[in-house]
Amino acid sequence: PPTWRRARPALIADALKRASARPSGNWFVVGASRDVRAGGRPYGRTVGGVEVVLWRTDTGELRAGPGVCPHLGAPLRDSRVVCGTLVCHWHGLTLDGGPFAGWEPYPVHDDGVLVWVRLDAVGGEEPSERPAVPARPRPGAGVDAVFTAVGRCEPQDVVANRLDPWHGSWFHPYSFVDLSVVREPDGDDGDAFVVDVSFRVAGRLVVPVRAEFTAPDPRTVVMRITEGEGVTSVVETHATPLTAEGDPAPRTAVVEAVVATSGRRGFRLARAAA
Ligand code: FES
């Protein structure tokens, strides 16, 4: 049988354990940078059971905080942004992004592709100044696309699934015709799965690449192409919990960011064909 069908639960469990032990600094990916637009509507998300609202000032700076109005609880995602200020649609309370009437902003970070929010009460770890953004092709050299799906599972289920090279959905939704594991992770020294895989692009064209899979934090898996078509391209999978910890019906947003090097159409075509 093809090598990727070999079941290696212990290896995956070990890799997941090491990923879970890495710090996240309480940063959570909430969506694509381009989805929070200056002059646009506020952007609302639930993270770990907490309502979060984001918007931009007229100059494009990000603002984030609780998604519930401190006056009488209106959902701020349904409010308007006027000249960079959030105006509650119930009774007109205004928020410029600074603390006001018990509303305390959340630290927020725009890495150019994704927006991250730091939620210390949800993460429960030591906070860090900035999220650990994976290395990507340099700005302007790549084309990026961000997709979000919601799964009925915990973030660690998503990470375990993406970390399993013998599991076909690792490459979901890219269709591949062959996969062999070149190197398995061996503890903290060289902690990556290295695989040779051929993507089927646009039905017929087959593109062989070598790719490396790592889990830099408890909720992120990064696939980086290290040899072949689209070298240095990355596919990041960020698993952001929507429900609070311990919820009997957990849901997780799977935010997938593809940053492919310019002129390399494999990823985009594969995605379009999926
Ligand atoms: S609920 Fe927002 S101003 Fe009253």
Where are the domains positioned within the chain? 3-23+137-273, 27-123
Residue whose CB lies within 8 A of the most ligand 1 atoms, among 91, 95, 100, 103, for a mutation test: 91
pLDDT tens figures, 80-120: 999 999 999 999 999 999 999 999 999 999 999 999 999 99
Structure tokens at 243: 């429900």
- Round to whole Å and give the CA distance between 75 and 259: 33
Share of the chain above pLDDT 90, in %: 53
- Beta strands across the sheet bearing 43-47: 43-47, 50-56, 62-66
- Burial readout 62-76 (b: 16 or more C-beta within 10 A, e: otherwise): bbbbbbbbbeeebbb
Mean pLDDT of 7-21: 80
Task: Quote the ligand 1 centre to 81 CA distance (angstroms).
Answer: 14
Task: Quote the ligand 1 centre to 15 CA distance (angstroms).
Answer: 47
Structure tokens at 184: 């398995």
Residue whose CB lies within 8 A of the most ligand 1 atoms, among 53, 68, 71, for a mutation test: 71
Mean pLDDT of 250-257: 94
Mean pLDDT of 236-261: 92
- Round to whole Å and give the CA distance between 258 and 214: 15
Find out whether the beta carbon of 211 lies less than 6 Å from any atom of ligand 1.
no
Residue whose CB lies within 8 A of the most ligand 1 atoms, among 82, 89, 93, for a mutation test: 93
| CATH superfamily name and code, 27-123 | Rieske [2Fe-2S] iron-sulphur domain (2.102.10.10)
- Round to whole Å and give the CA distance between 253 and 239: 6
**169-172-173 Cα angle (round to 5):** 155
Find out whether the beta carbon of 69 lies less than 6 Å from any atom of ligand 1.
yes
Task: Quote the ligand 1 centre to 67 CA distance (angstroms).
Answer: 12
Mean pLDDT of the chain: 84
Find out whether the beta carbon of 76 lies less than 6 Å from any atom of ligand 1.
no
Find out whether the beta carbon of 71 lies less than 6 Å from any atom of ligand 1.
yes
Structure tokens at 218: 């408890």
CB of 255 within 8 A of CB of 148? Answer: yes
Structure tokens at 233: 């391209």
Phi-psi region of 159 (alpha: psi -120 to 50; beta: other; left: phi over 0): alpha
Structure tokens at 100: 């006001």
- Round to whole Å and give the CA distance between 54 and 31: 10
Structure tokens at 4: 């990727």
- Which residue in 116, 166, 111 sits closest to 142, CA to CA? 111
Residue whose CB lies within 8 A of the most ligand 1 atoms, among 51, 53, 88, for a mutation test: 88
**Bond from prior residue into 134 cis (ω within 30 degrees of 0):** no
Task: Quote the ligand 1 centre to 94 CA distance (angstroms).
Answer: 9
> In this predicted structure, what is the pLDDT of residue 121?
95
Q: Whose CA is nearest to atom 1 of ligand 1?
A: 72
Structure tokens at 181: 């594991």
Query: What is the position in ligand 1's atom list of the atom closest to the CA of 79?
Result: 2
Tally helices (H) and strands (E) across the chain: 4, 16
Question: For the ranges 15-24, 138-147, 236-245, which has the lowest average pLDDT?
Answer: 138-147
* Total count of residues recorded for the chain: 274
1-10, 18-27, 67-76, 149-158: which is most confident? 67-76
- Which residue in 127, 102, 126, 130 sits closest to 114, CA to CA? 130
| H/E stretch holding 218 | none
CATH number of 3-23+137-273: 3.30.530.20
> In this predicted structure, what is the pLDDT of residue 19?
87
pLDDT tens figures, 110-148: 999 999 999 999 999 999 999 999 988 876 666 778 889
Find out whether the beta carbon of 72 lies less than 6 Å from any atom of ligand 1.
yes
